[in-house]
Amino acid sequence: MNLSKKMRDALNQQMTFELESAYAYMAMSAWFKTENLDGLAAFMATHAQEEVEHAMKFYDFLYERLSSAEFGAIGKPKGSFKNPLEVIETAFEHEQKVTRAIHQLVDLARAENDKASENFLQWFVEEQVEEESVIDNLLQRLKLVGDFKPGLFFLDRELAAEGGEH
Ligand code: OFO
């Protein structure tokens, strides 16, 4: 069964959005790097890499469904923040936006009676639960640290030791 035009456009839009997420997270990583917070920079760089992998899943799926990829425009990402908390709050809000977009795609697949797309999207539905939870965990730790600089130093060191893995 061929992809409908609506489904194809929506999958391409999501592929672009995943790349936009990678771009936004790289800009956050760069901000942390400038602030000498290498652990947080590694965390965001790893996350950006995951978003590229997500985009590639859409890319591969489009071709598996005998369709094609079409890249959209990506805007300039936010590159300056007042503190680490604002960065992670922004990342958390961004992930919630991604979750909503994935859920809308599932709704569209159902409306189009496209079982293969619906099945493909299930992986993303689960992934978003994990992504929101991982970023929320970091957000809560940053809230605990507050303005206590040594706390931030140790949290950053802990993240550096994990090498950005999460
Ligand atoms: Fe972090 O989101 Fe992709 O899907």
Task: Give the model confidence (pLDDT) of 125-165 as tens digits.
Answer: 999 999 999 999 999 999 999 989 999 999 999 999 988 78
Report the separation in Å between the CA atom of 166 and the middle of ligand 1, taken as the mean of its atom positions.
Answer: 14
> Is any atom of ligand 1 closer than 6 Å to the C-beta of 105?
no
| CA pair distance 42, 48, nearest whole angstrom | 10
**pLDDT level of residue 107 (50, 70, 90 thresholds):** very high
**Mind listing the pLDDT tens digit for each residue in 37-64?**
999 999 999 999 999 999 999 999 999 9
Domains of the chain in sequence order: 5-68+83-162 (1.20.1260.10)
Among 57, 98, 105, 129, say which to mutate for ligand 1: greatest number of ligand atoms within 8 Å of CB.
Answer: 98
For residue 121, give the amino acid letter: L
Q: What is the DSSP letter of 78?
A: P
**What is this structure's pTM?**
0.95
Report the nearest atom of ligand 1 relative to the CA of 131: 1
Q: Each residue of 40-66: b (16+ CB within 10 Å) or e?
A: bbbbbbbbbebbeebbebbbebbeebe
